[in-house]
Amino acid sequence: MDIPQHLIGYEIQTAKLCPYKLLFDKEFISRLKDSDEFKFSNIYFFCRTKKIRFDLNNTELLNKRTLRTTLIIGDSQKRTVTANFYDLSKIFRDKYDTKGDYEDLVSDNDSFWDCKFLKEESNSTTLVFNQIATRTNHIFDFIITQENFEFDLDLDLNNPPEVIYVGQSFRMLERIQSHKTLNKAVSQLKDNEDLRLYFLTFKFGYGGHRDYINLDGSVSKVWLSEHGKTKEFKSKINLVERFLIHFLKPELNEQHVNSEIHEDRIVNSLLLENKVTTVTISYGMYGNGFQFWSANRVLPTDNFTFDFNDIERGYFNGF
């Protein structure tokens, strides 16, 4: 392989989750729109997962701060989990400085706080609880969902999100909430499956042989452009989308899936004509809820490279 004259790279920086069931929930969407991870996202994944449900008959409070429940995963797999509310929900971590502070305040030896599980108000996807200030009879409702177990507790439920569509938008919610492919994805779900949306931001890198780097050139202007709606930034998002689709080959994408990447118009005008010979991409992340994969991806890896000096080799693992 020749020494790279010019190379670019990118990797996922953040992935903001939106369960499909909450896509039209006003309160959830309001919080989503306020988050920087969503505000600065232009790439999104539609992902298919196993449906996670609660077995209400095997759900109980062990004390004021500890929940035990059985999760039904997919068709019939079951897992019983015991967890502290402080670990399960961000609302407690935001309110109390440490887990010890929380446990002291909801100690079994202190009658000031009580907690009740409202089974009759709960269902297979949402558990409802009252936290009660007993002396003043002030009641605070809170809920626990299956996402709390997969994301807050980071349980490995053998449920990695399968990427079935990759897209881009600069008007994200308007685009998503009226997306024909999203409707198609939902209509094709089996009874034991769910759909999740992930809104992605990326970190970018640019470098190579010093004789070829031009910090005033078109590649630099595109690759180092900041978030926004400039022509340069849109070109960068176009490239990110193209390579992710071409590598992952999601089942609901139609464009760019089986094309020759080196013949792509944007790849040619921005990369090849400017002697960019290497592109490296990583979509790997920490956390069990972020282990993205695709049934049709070129290689079973989340870190891959394409070398335009050796087109016949195609994608390869690593750099």
- What pLDDT score does 214 carry? 63
pLDDT for 1: 44
pLDDT the model gives residue 215: 62
At 163 the pLDDT is: 98
Tokens of 292: 């993205």
HSE of 283 in the Cβ direction (CA atoms, 13 Å)?
28
Q: What is the pLDDT of residue 181?
A: 94
Q: What is the pLDDT of residue 219?
A: 77
What pLDDT does 319 receive? 67
How high is the pLDDT of residue 286? 96
What is the pLDDT at residue 83?
97
CA distance 258 to 246: 7
What pTM was estimated for this model as a whole?
0.92
- Quick one: pLDDT at residue 85? 95
Q: What is the pLDDT of residues 28-79, one digit of tens each?
A: 999 999 999 999 999 999 999 999 999 999 999 999 999 999 999 998 899 9
Both tokens of 297, joined, read 């991806």
- Residue ranges of the chain with pLDDT lower than 70? 1-5, 208-217, 319
- Within 10 Å of residue 31's Cβ, how many Cβ atoms? 12
- Write the CA distances from 67 to 60, 89, 202, integer angstroms: 6, 12, 36
What is the spatial order of strands in the sheet that 113-117 belongs to?
A: 113-117, 126-133, 138-145
d(CA 233, CA 239): 10
* DSSP E strand boundaries for 134-264: 138-145, 162-168, 193-207
Task: Judge contact between 69 and 148, C-beta under 8 A.
Answer: no
